[in-house]
Copies of this chain bind each other. A is one copy, B any other.
Amino acid sequence: MLLPLLRSHPLLHHAARLSSPRTRLLLRRDAIPLARSPPIRMAASSGSGASSPASAPPAAVVHKSKIKFCPACGSPTKLAIPDGDEKMRAVCSSCGRVHYENPKMVVGCLVEHDNKVLLCRRKIEPAYGLWTLPAGYLEVGESTAEGASRETLEEACADVEIVSPFAQLDIPLIGQSYIIFRARLKTPNFSPGPESLECALFALDDIPFDSLAFSSIIVTLRMVFPPP
């Protein structure tokens, strides 16, 4: 039967949402440039930090569009609600094409080695000089796991094997959705790529929680290392 099969499966994730006070605490050093403290909603393989299921959705609102001109024909767009839709979209004033704006996926790795985790110190803005997990935007043509491996190779020159998904986090306000994978080094070699000042393995007591680049990285590492 369906329900017993699903309910007894040991690998199911918990959908969860950070409570507001903890979210504010975790976001106080947020360095994402488009919005200082966007709320994070998460569904993670760790149950720590939250226990209530996600509730009913609020309506998504798009008041303006970054798509001022039609990418297909170059004519100006206008904001309109297309037939059968409920939201304002950028619609071409000439060819009538509707242009949607969708969230971007960020994929990255929680690389474990010798009971430590691999972090990179950013050589680029935003958050220049702060520490992060190797992660970046997913590209067309690659899977999420492949994208996470590629970003780790680019940012830390580290060749990794993906172990499993670790956490999925959403930052709706800026249209980002993260999937972070657990990974291990195929060889014990890493070095800073062009976008990193340095890369290093950190043990539990040495994680630079005061110098992390993004709220998403703080949340992810707090799932590995819960505060005392």
Contacts and interface: CB of A to CB of B under 8 A. Distances in A.
Interface of A: 1-3, 5-6, 9-15, 41, 43, 45-47, 53-62, 66-76, 84, 87, 99-105, 112, 115-117, 137-147, 149-150, 153, 159, 161-166, 168, 170, 172-173, 175, 177, 179, 181-182, 194, 203-204, 224-225
A57 B142 contact: yes
A26 to B, nearest CB: 16
A80 to B, nearest CB: 16
23 contacts: A1-B204, A2-B115, A6-B112, A6-B182, A9-B45, A10-B10, A11-B12, A12-B165, A13-B13, A13-B164, A15-B162, A15-B181, A43-B145, A53-B162, A53-B164, A54-B145, A57-B143, A60-B147, A68-B72, A69-B71, A70-B71, A84-B194, A102-B105
A213 B104 CA distance: 25
Contact of A69 (B69, B161, B175): B69
A175 B45 contact: no
A55 B183 CA distance: 11
A100 B140 CA distance: 9
Residue with the highest number of chain B CB atoms closer than 10 Å, among A3, A60, A144, A166: A144
A2 B74 contact: no
A161 B196 CA distance: 42
A14 B164 contact: yes
Contact of A144 (B101, B116, B168, B173): B168
